Amino acid sequence: MKIHLLAAVLVLGVSTMIARAQPEMPKPGPEHEKFKAMVGEWDATVKHAGGESKAKSTYKLDFGGFHLIQEFEGEMAGQKFTGRGQNAYCPLKKKYVATWIDSMSPSPMVFVGEYDKDGKVLTETGEGPNQEGKLAKFKSVTKWTDADTMVFSMFDDKDAEMMTITYKRKK
């Protein structure tokens, strides 16, 4: 009986030491607060190559509040278009990181960037497939004009605007 009691005490003691040695789980920081403003449902107007189409988008926080996930549905060049974005803040790079996948490309786009000093404009650069299916460099700029309106613009490697999406929060 004394051996079982001694074993139980040792197991409890070792378990307590292991629990104390575990690092504290990370929590979202102030950089993640910007994501909260985007959570919700949005109507979108997409302007590209002389055309215009309507779309809708939903943003939600996921994975412990570290990632903003976007679901996008609309039309592009007369075809049904779906896309998914993931935005995060990387404390190692001290930059925002975004990935984008969609129904018109087998390759993801990856962007890295930061906000301006006022926190109203996010500028990111990265690469992904161009219209010919080749890897190319891009720039995106997202501007908040008010709490319920944001404008996303995509530019090619020559800084020519390729498309603009104006998002209006659904009320």
Tokens, residue 53: 């189409």
pLDDT (mean) for 89-100: 95
pTM of the model: 0.83
Per cent of the chain over pLDDT 90 is 71
- Of the listed ranges 10-14, 73-77, 127-131, the one predicted with least confidence: 10-14
What's the Cα-to-Cα distance from 95 to each of 124, 127, 169, rounded to whole Å? 9, 16, 26
User: Which of residues 138 and 25 earns the better pLDDT score?
Assistant: 138
| Predicted local distance difference test score (pLDDT) of residue 111 | 97
Nearest C-alpha neighbor of 139 from the set 164, 120, 119: 164
The three-point CA angle 145-147-152 to 5° equals: 45
- pLDDT, tens digit (0-9, with 9 covering 90-100), for 45-75: 999 887 899 999 999 999 999 999 999 999 8
**Confidence check: pLDDT of 18 > 60:** no
Task: Report residue 19: phi and psi, to 5°.
Answer: -60, -40
Amino acid at 85: G
Q: What is the DSSP letter of 16?
A: H
- Supply the mean pLDDT for the chain: 89
Cα distance between residue 115 and residue 95, in whole Å: 9
For the domain made up of 30-169, give the CATH fold: Lipocalin (2.40.128)
How confident is the model at residue 25, as a pLDDT?
Answer: 82
Per-residue tokens: 52? 């215009």
Q: What is the DSSP string of 142-168?
A: EEEEETTEEEEEEE-TT--EEEEEEEE
β-pair type (105-115, 135-146): unpaired
pLDDT at 1 over 60: no
